[in-house]
Amino acid sequence: METINKNEEYVKEEITRSMQHLSDKRVQHAIKVQSYIRSYVTDFLREAGYIEIAPIIISPLTDPLNHPVYDPKIHAYGGDMWITQSMIFHKQIAVQELKKIFIMSPNVRLETEEKSKSGRHLYEFTQIDVEALEKSREEMMSLAEDMIIYTISRLKKEHKEELEYFHRTLPDYAKPFPVITFEEAEKKYGKGFETPLSKESSTPVWVVDIPLKEREFYDREYPEKPGILRDMDLIWPEGFEEASSGGEREYELSQILDRIQKKGQTEEQFKWFIELAKQGIKYTAGFGIGIERFTRFVCGVEKIEDVTTFPKVPGRISL
């Protein structure tokens, strides 16, 4: 049974580690901050007319992601389903009728072991996942900016003592956040531009117009700039790196089929989505912001596990 549940010694160590983690005062404070962030972002989105829908945990359709992970596939009822890697397609479908939605969405991404050193990867995390019908990338960027500014300003007003605990003085960020294209960022900082860009910034910064090969097939390609997408990443300042990704979405059948093919993926994998596109969907846009990364940035702590109750660090089976 060792391969399934690890041995007794491992279990004992892990339980001890979990209990020590939970009794760490720094962790307790960070979890409190996370709880306030959850409350403020949801207050903000509801106030802006967004409806919270329940998370999806399992489905025959999930985000293919653009990087390798272990496959969270489950076989049941004579078919295959996957644990949610992101609710990207469910968001696109739900807004067809509900218009503006958000989900506090638990995602499982079984990242490979080397990601354990990044300080910002967990194989189970939650994202604030937002989508709206017939909105542009720029409108969604503006919403994300308002949401972040609102959340940080309430934290500063209502929970100054928690920020003081972490010796954290956060500025009042101004809207709009600076914008740089992927091409400009690569020219200025080279291939791994995210780290230097984040370190040099004193405010959250957008990276836009990401090339097709860097992203999943669902972010919309510019009709007039083939190979470049109408999408965006948000980078936290001070070296905290990626906060969010999002964009406008592909919605026309011919374009969806073309993009799946360009990615070297199969129509079989996305047949549920293709069927939907055949029946016709309208365009949407949205973004997802990792709640643990948001908390890590606000608290200014190095390791994402220190803001998480039951951290799942890649490579370890943990409670």
- Beta strands of the chain (E only): which ranges? 51-52, 58-59, 69-70, 73-76, 79-83, 100-108, 110-111, 124-133, 179-181, 205-208, 221-222, 225-229, 231-236, 241-248, 284-290
Decide if residue 287 touches ligand ASP (CB under 6 A): yes
Query: Could you tell me if 176 and 145 are in contact, meaning their C-beta atoms sit under 8 angstroms apart?
Result: yes
Q: For residue 66, what are the contacts with CB-CB under 8 A and spacing of at least 6?
A: 214, 215, 216
**Region from 4-12, 73-81, 244-252, 266-274 binding ligand ASP, contact rule CB under 6 A:** 244-252
Which listed option, ligand ASP, Mg ion, none, makes contact with residue 237 (CB within 5 to 8 Å by class)? Answer: none
Instruction: With H, G, I as helix, E, B as strand and everything else as coil, classify residue 92.
Output: helix
The conformation of residue 249, written as its DSSP 8-state character, comes to: B
Decide if residue 217 touches ligand ASP (CB under 6 A): no
**Which amino acid type is present at position 31?**
I
Taking CB under 6 A as the criterion, the residue among 204, 286, 311, 314 binding ligand ASP is 286
Least distance in Å: CB of 1 to Mg ion?
Answer: 37
**Which amino acid type is present at position 79?**
G
Q: Output the CA–CA distances (angstroms, integers) from residue 187 to 130, 180, 242, 295, 297, in the order listed.
A: 31, 11, 19, 31, 27
CA distance 47 to 30: 26
Decide if residue 151 touches ligand ASP (CB under 6 A): no
**Region from 49-57, 164-172, 243-251, 267-275 binding ligand ASP, contact rule CB under 6 A:** 243-251
Least distance in Å: CB of 309 to ligand ASP?
Answer: 21
Taking CB under 6 A as the criterion, the residue among 288, 296, 301, 313 binding ligand ASP is 288
Which listed option, Mg ion, ligand ASP, none, makes contact with residue 286 (CB within 5 to 8 Å by class)? Answer: ligand ASP
Least distance in Å: CB of 13 to Mg ion?
Answer: 35
Which listed option, Mg ion, ligand ASP, none, makes contact with residue 246 (CB within 5 to 8 Å by class)? Answer: ligand ASP
Least distance in Å: CB of 159 to ligand ASP?
Answer: 27
